[in-house]
Amino acid sequence: MATLSLNLYSPSIGHKCLFPKSHNSPSNFRISCSSSFLQNKKQFKKDYTSVMIVPTGVGAAIGGYAGDALPVARALSSVVDCLISHPNVLNAAMLYWPMPNALYVEGYALDRFAEGLWALQPVHQNRVGLVFDAGIEEELLIRHLQVVDATRASLGLPIVGYTVTDTPLLVEKWVDPTSGQSTGRIQRPDSLLRAVENLQKGSKVNAVAVVARFPDDDTADLDDYRQGKGIDLLAGVEAVISHLVVKNFQIPCAHAPAVLPPQLDTSLCPKSAAEEIGYTFLPCVLAGLSSAPQYLVKGNNFSKEDCIVAGDVDSVIVPINACGGDGALAFANRKRNKPLIIAVEENQTVLNDTPDSLGIEAVKVSNYWEAIGVIAAHKAGIDPNSLRSNRIKNIAPISFVPSNGFAISSAKSFV
């Protein structure tokens, strides 16, 4: 909102200044209504960056289904200056939501970013290509190609071409008996890597969507997922596929499974419904990849001025018992510019990697409502504990041990 102020111009010194309104103002100064000072206030404070992580295939109560963590990401993006998250959070099959200040970062790349090995370079748009599994039936392939054309015509997405693998990828999926999370493999990773390489050479793409033919789910397992229970059996091996591409080519990648439409279910859980309203899961992947940041590998002469690095992250939000991933641990163990770690108790998973079990210093919150409040306070430069009853205690002295081995207090205690 503009505020009334004096916009003063002095011919002798040649610059503008702000002056309270007064009848005694010099005659060579003129009054105007200006908000330029307020508009430039960001120059006094760095942008606030948050990372939101919900691991894939671990049965997360929020984010373990068809884009059901996307509302959280939307709310977070309205509070922070920059939100960094990954496809499991931002994808919702046929649905997606554009957030100008959100960066769509594949999970393997997010881990390397957290470790300080890679940086993120925001872009206006990418040249996106697609790799289709040769095992996809003709009719199902046509359905996917129609979705691609629809996103090009109706959304203007920069999709430049596609290729088909030279042999079926042969996807296998299972549940890890130790961790309880979904995982899997493709029997022909070489075929996928050749297809991506040919696509890069032929169409100069710098982002890739992969569509692999997945085996049809067991009826009982599918019914649980459709009712908002259990884990996503497809998600684990989807991560394996995208990790493989990103590790080898260092470009944005995301995966959309090709499956036959299931039978109509009249009691579908809303958390799983986004996957039931079309023939493919591809629209959200193409929308995300179209403006995903490029990955810059440390040592390749990237400049911090034109990219985002791990030290820019101010806070990281994770489920309470899913803090053991490479990215979360890397952020938690930073020696400099350590971000605030926020663990959400309501978002339970099949894992047991809590902050306490891993020795991680974290702010524990009951739900994402509280997490957003903590981030708003943190961004404002306020200790979040000062917003709670009786959370601020008397300040304590800080002791240090000099070379003689005797502890010395650096301040007197007034407790």
Q: What is the pLDDT of residues 118-132, one digit of tens each?
A: 999 999 999 999 999
Rounded average pLDDT over 305-326: 94
* Reported confidence tier of residue 251, pLDDT bands at 50, 70, 90: very high
Rounded average pLDDT over 257-269: 85
Rounded average pLDDT over 156-160: 96
Rounded to the nearest integer, the mean pLDDT of the chain is 86
Q: Above 60 in pLDDT, residue 24?
A: no
**4-35 burial, b for 16+ CB within 10 Å, e for fewer?**
ebbbbeeeeeeeeeeeeeeeeeeeeeeeeebe
Q: Above 90 in pLDDT, residue 361?
A: yes
What is the reported pLDDT for 218?
Answer: 62
Q: Above 70 in pLDDT, residue 99?
A: yes
Residue of higher predicted confidence among 260 and 15: 260
* Reported confidence tier of residue 304, pLDDT bands at 50, 70, 90: low
* Reported confidence tier of residue 220, pLDDT bands at 50, 70, 90: low
What is the reported pLDDT for 402?
Answer: 66
Q: Give the span between the Cα atoms of 159 and 389, in whole angstroms.
A: 53
* Reported confidence tier of residue 264, pLDDT bands at 50, 70, 90: confident
What is the reported pLDDT for 227?
Answer: 83
What is the reported pLDDT for 78?
Answer: 97
* Reported confidence tier of residue 22, pLDDT bands at 50, 70, 90: very low
Tens-digit pLDDT profile for residues 62-89: 999 989 999 999 999 999 999 999 999 9
Residue of higher predicted confidence among 31 and 261: 261
Rounded average pLDDT over 311-330: 97
Rounded average pLDDT over 327-344: 96
Residue of higher predicted confidence among 7 and 297: 297
What is the reported pLDDT for 6?
Answer: 42
* Reported confidence tier of residue 408, pLDDT bands at 50, 70, 90: low
Rounded average pLDDT over 324-330: 97
Whole-number percent of the chain with pLDDT over 90 = 68
Amino acid identity, residue 337? N
* Reported confidence tier of residue 40, pLDDT bands at 50, 70, 90: low
What is the reported pLDDT for 164?
Answer: 98
* Reported confidence tier of residue 102, pLDDT bands at 50, 70, 90: very high
Other CB atoms within a 10 A radius of the CB of residue 279 amount to 17
> pTM to 2 decimals?
0.84
What is the reported pLDDT for 272?
Answer: 87
Q: Above 50 in pLDDT, residue 37?
A: no
For 330-339, 367-376, 385-394, 401-410, which range has the lowest pLDDT when averaged over its residues? Answer: 401-410
Structure tokens at 288: 């995300």
* Reported confidence tier of residue 92, pLDDT bands at 50, 70, 90: very high
Whole-number percent of the chain with pLDDT over 70 = 83
Tens-digit pLDDT profile for residues 143-155: 999 999 999 999 9
Q: Above 60 in pLDDT, residue 340?
A: yes
What is the reported pLDDT for 373?
Answer: 97
Q: Above 50 in pLDDT, residue 14?
A: no
Rounded average pLDDT over 386-408: 76
Q: Above 80 in pLDDT, residue 268?
A: yes
Q: Give the span between the Cα atoms of 309 and 167, in whole angstroms.
A: 38
